[in-house]
Structure 1
Amino acid sequence: MSNLPDALLTGYRNFMNGRYAAETEHYKSLAREGQSPETLVIACCDSRAAPETIFDAGPGELFVLRNVANLVPPYSPDGEFHSTSAALEFAVQALKVKNIVVMGHGRCGGIRAALDPNATPLSPGDFIGKWMSLVGPAAETVSGNDMMTKSERQTALERISIRYSIANLRTFPCVQILEQKGRLEIFGAWFDISAGELWVMDRTTGDFERTGTV
């Protein structure tokens, strides 16, 4: 009996007979020479919003960091375990990416949890609750706005959290220095799962503008 679900094995066979067969030499080249992606995408781990799919990226093109609600914590070299900070450090310092894109998405479960202070913790430790406290002040402000509908509050915090993460990115010395030298650019984006729309943050105003598909 296989140790993997049948759907995964079927997918793997399709990959080997399809994409891998068509790009065998490219995969072998990546294995020999290593990866050199130009863009780091910080995205949510939601299964509906995969950056490689949204940007139609091939192997080796994107370095993807995924966590709950695509959050970046502030720089905190305190000796604890920091997986997001470690991946960011590797992308910037070792891979020397030229771009960082923080990409949020609609109907984010982490953001929904942040907006509901009365939600029952998922577990005694409630790692998600602690993680989402990174946007706690913004969540409190948005959730208290009775002039907005529930879905409007959700979208608002999803986009505000992207700006929060970008601000936290700039607390990392390696990011701050490289951006100031013009060797690193930072972008924000929001993906609407239902409509397939990509909204890009204007880096001057902070507004999100829908990107055309043609």
Structure 2
Amino acid sequence: MFIEFHADGDTHRFYLHKNSGEEPSEFYDEGGHSIAKSLVHRPVPNGTLGDGFAWRIHPILGVKKFHNGVDFRAPMGSPIQAAGDGVVEKISWETGYGKYVRIRHDGGYETTYAHISATPSDLRIGQRVTQGQVIAYVGSTGYSTGPHLYYELRVNGRYENPLTAQLPAGTNLTGKSLDSLRSQVSHVENIMSYLDVPPARDDAPPPFPGFEQGSGFGGPGPGPNHFGAP
């Protein structure tokens, strides 16, 4: 029903809960935040890392620019997977990005998948997706010199390196699902109280230090300085 561990005087307790009939059970904290998934660093399983999160000479414009994401070379049409649970925020086109998909994740951050050739025919804006679900296919649209994915991460309006970021990528429960978890938590606490086991600390630090759960996002949209190429 739950797991518990102790570290540096703090007690953490996570509860095994099934959010819906279609999704597998996951471990959540008392606030309904999934701790079972972390952000995927490589959304193209068969991709080869190209330009990273660093300064470079842009291969098309020929000027020095900071590369705000990372590139993965892969054959045209290779599947691209969602890096975490979230909602499709945009399916659009811009000169630099070409065709792209943007996902807002439950942790409050966003990932963008650019230069794609297409998306699955049933993918829609506002649709909820899960980690590992195919959300696009590798292409060479926009400012691109060959088939590859440009993968971008923004947290609180700042570009972050998606290869090194350690972020929660599971579902954050709300509504009836959260009420159901709280009922389960209460049930567990009653059992543990009967067994005379101290409760978990409510003020224990989050499982992902340095990242504030549910933080918002604000910042400039995509533009000609926000793109990549192999």
* TM-score where L is the length of structure 1: 0.29
Q: Which one has a bigger Cα radius of gyration?
A: 2
* TM-score where L is the length of structure 2: 0.27
Which structure carries more strand by proportion? 2
